């Protein structure tokens, strides 16, 4: 298999050099060139023919979001954003994902060599995954009203189910937009929705805030000790593992161990394993687009506990990794296109026999 042709776009000559040198020896990658800004990149793309771009988030002449909006119609390439850990950098990164970027890595907070090497390893892994990914099209400017998925208006979830059940979702690469599409189609009259999206600390709060602006559910970053309520959408914070525990007859959020599971923190696995124990058959588990196998065993635990379990189908995935594994090991009982997922979840909830 030919090496992945990578082009680096960054206004900093130092960063371009660091990324070029850091990725030059990585297996399966060839750095075909770099560009100092989006205008330079557009001029070079036809000649260099990159398979994947790395793109700086904040550049003086044109930021990464505007570049993506102009680039994708002409050159629909897989793009990995290189994000600053600043507040503005995080916000622009989330906008870039909405504009068509596949994923992102965060620059180290300092010049710590260990942090830099970790970032380069993560970037290498995501470039390899991006080269095999389906490039998403930017979201349309006018989206459907919140809670209007196929079947959403006609499906009523019983009050007993609203108060006793939960929807548990896991996602990785391509997942920010998949989650946004799915939860944006769920109505406010929905059991609590718990989401683990692979994302570092700081970014998850902004992700939750953006979801809160676009969906009928009340979205927020999860807080330790909180009891999930109907109509709430709780996002696992970056940098810690989120689980649920039983307190009397109620479920309670627990934020704890910061160690990685399946290479991720937060990981989908601990959340789904704990949901299997706490909710049993009173849950719907969903695995969305992403690289690797995180969440597959957790989804299987949920199914074995009596929960209904779904995986996003290959045709609608950006990366058919996590859902593929979940399907192959029998964790998911059905594969569903993303645009039908909300309707399927609501149908399962409305037919639930586990009302207590």
Catalytic residues: 172, 198, 294
Q: Rounded to an integer, what distance in angstroms lies between the CA atom of residue 70 and that of residue 73?
A: 7
Q: Rounded to an integer, what distance in angstroms lies between the CA atom of residue 322 and that of residue 312?
A: 9
Q: Rounded to an integer, what distance in angstroms lies between the CA atom of residue 76 and that of residue 157?
A: 40
User: What is the dihedral sign for C-alpha 48, 78, 127, 320?
Assistant: negative
Q: Rounded to an integer, what distance in angstroms lies between the CA atom of residue 286 and that of residue 195?
A: 9
Long-range contacts of 333-336 (CB under 8 A, 24+ apart): 333/303, 333/308, 333/309, 334/309, 334/310, 335/310, 335/311, 336/310, 336/311, 336/312
Separation in Å, CA 15 to CA 82, 101, 250, 300 = 10, 20, 50, 43
**Among the listed residues 266, 264, 228, 221, the one whose alpha carbon sits nearest the alpha carbon of residue 244:** 228
Structure-token pair, residue 226: 């909180």
Q: Rounded to an integer, what distance in angstroms lies between the CA atom of residue 181 and that of residue 39?
A: 31
Say if residues 103 and 68 touch (Cβ distance below 8 Å). no
Neighbours of 22 (CB within 10 A): 17
- Identify the helix (H) or strand (E) that includes residue 233: strand 232-235
**Among the listed residues 54, 48, 99, 97, the one whose alpha carbon sits nearest the alpha carbon of residue 73:** 99
Per DSSP, the three-state class of 231 is: coil
Q: Parallel, antiparallel, or unpaired: how do β-strands 242-247 and 250-255 relate?
A: antiparallel
């Amino acid at each position: 298999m030919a090496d992945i042709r990578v082009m680096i776009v960054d206004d900093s000559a130092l960063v371009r050099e660091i990324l070029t040198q850091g990725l030059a020896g990585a297996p399966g990658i060839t750095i075909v060139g770099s560009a100092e800004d989006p205008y330079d990149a557009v001029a070079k793309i036809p000649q260099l023919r990159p398979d994947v771009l790395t793109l700086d988030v904040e550049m003086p002449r044109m930021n990464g979001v505007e570049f993506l909006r102009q680039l994708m119609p002409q050159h629909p390439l897989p793009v990995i954003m290189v994000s600053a850990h600043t507040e503005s950098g995080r916000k622009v990164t989330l906008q870039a994902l909405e504009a068509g970027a596949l994923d992102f890595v965060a620059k180290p907070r300092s010049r710590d060599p260990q942090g830099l090497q970790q970032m380069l390893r993560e970037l290498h892994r995501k470039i390899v995954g991006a080269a095999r990914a389906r490039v998403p099209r930017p979201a349309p400017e006018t989206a459907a009203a919140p809670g209007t998925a196929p079947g959403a208006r006609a499906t009523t979830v019983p009050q007993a189910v609203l108060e006793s059940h939960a929807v548990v979702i896991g996602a990785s690469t391509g997942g920010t937009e998949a989650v946004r599409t799915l939860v944006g189609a769920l109505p406010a009259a929905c059991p609590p929705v718990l989401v683990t999206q692979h994302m570092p600390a700081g970014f998850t709060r902004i992700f939750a805030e953006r979801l809160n602006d676009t969906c009928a559910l009340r979205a927020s970053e999860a807080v330790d000790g909180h009891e999930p309520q109907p109509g709430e959408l709780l996002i696992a914070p970056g940098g810690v593992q989120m689980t649920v525990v039983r307190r009397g007859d109620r479920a309670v959020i627990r934020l704890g161990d910061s160690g990685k599971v399946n290479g991720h923190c937060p990981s989908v696995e601990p959340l789904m394993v704990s949901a299997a124990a706490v909710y049993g058959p009173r849950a719907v588990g969903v695995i969305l687009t992403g690289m690797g196998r995180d969440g597959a065993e957790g989804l299987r635990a949920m199914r074995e506990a009596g929960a209904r379990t779904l995986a996003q189908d290959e045709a609608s995935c950006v990366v058919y990794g996590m859902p593929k594994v979940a399907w192959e090991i029998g964790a998911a009982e059905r594969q569903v296109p993303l645009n039908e997922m909300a309707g399927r979840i609501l149908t399962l909830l409305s037919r639930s026999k586990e009302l207590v």
